[in-house]
Copies of this chain bind each other. A is one copy, B any other.
Amino acid sequence: MTNILPGPVDSPLARMRVVLVRTSHPGNIGASARAMYTMGLARLVLVAPAKFPHAEALALATGAASVLEGAAVAATLAEALAGCALAIGLSARPRAFAGRVMSVREASREAIARTRDGEVALVFGTEMSGLSNEELAQCGIAATIPANPDYASLNLAAAVQVAAYELRIAAGEGDVWRAPRFARATHDDVESLYAHAERTLADMRFLDRKRPRLLMPRLRRLFGRAGLEREEVNVLRGILARVDELIGRTPR
């Protein structure tokens, strides 16, 4: 059987397909599409969905409507898995499963590695009972999301979110937004600041040069921990220069 989803397969995440089996509630299909797309997954296959397409699916997909529009519908799980290099079934307790059982984190690393061979499917069962033994047997790996043993019932879309998140990190796309870094102060800038501070503190008679105690080491420790930026050194030296003026000293 040929691949039922056409389209580009140029990155590991683009080679992942999410398969939802016999989903009861169309809202869960939409929420799963949203969860996928937030992590960069876009290929969705629905096996015998109770209701699809459906307005509630579209409403819960919000900005991920394109994932629903591109979704394929398959009559059987076998059809949904055709053309895949590997299928990974999500299961809370894969008791009757003969293959390898691993955490979703381990399974995600395996999934990304196997995208070298072709598409990899991530398979989710129904809201009420997950994948049947027969369905799970069609998968090469059973993946489990660690959970509270007293209440391990993740919502379907929440399980898709966790698995998609782990796939994104496994694919090396786990970078988070960082604030732009400002120029760090040089060693000389910082030493000049400490020298200036020591003079001014002495002039203020806050520091007694004959009995300096730990004042300067404490200031060094504080600013060293912060990691001063060049602009911050300028601000601090400006404050010191103003103190110098107020106590009648000219800046040296």
Give residues in A with beta carbon < 8 Å to B: 31, 34-35, 37-40, 62-64, 92-95, 97, 101-103, 105, 144-148, 151-155, 157-158, 161-162, 165, 168-169, 173-179
CB pair B146 A35 closer than 8 Å: no
Tell whether, in the assembled complex, residue B179 and residue A97 are in contact, meaning their CB atoms are under 8 Å apart. Answer: yes
In the bound complex, residues from chain B placing their C-beta under 8 Å from that of A95 are 179
Q: Is A151 a contact partner of B63 (Cβ separation < 8 A)? A: yes
Q: Sorted from nearest, which 3 A-B pairs have the closest CB atoms? A: A144-B176, A158-B161, A40-B148
18 A–B contacts, CB within 8 A, in A order:
A31-B155, A35-B154, A37-B151, A39-B148, A62-B153, A64-B151, A92-B177, A94-B177, A97-B179, A101-B176, A101-B179, A103-B174, A103-B176, A145-B165, A146-B169, A147-B168, A154-B161, A161-B162
Chain B residues within an 8 Å CB radius of A162? 161-162, 165
Min Cβ gap A188→B in Å is: 26
Known contacts A158-B158, A161-B161, A165-B145, A153 near B63 by CB under 8 Å: yes
| Complexed CA–CA distance, A31 and B161 (Å) | 13
Interface-centre pick from A40, A62, A175 (highest chain B CB count, 10 A): A40
Chain B residues within an 8 Å CB radius of A101 = 176-179
Contact A177 B37 (CB under 8 A): no
* A155 B153 Cβ-Cβ under 8 A: no
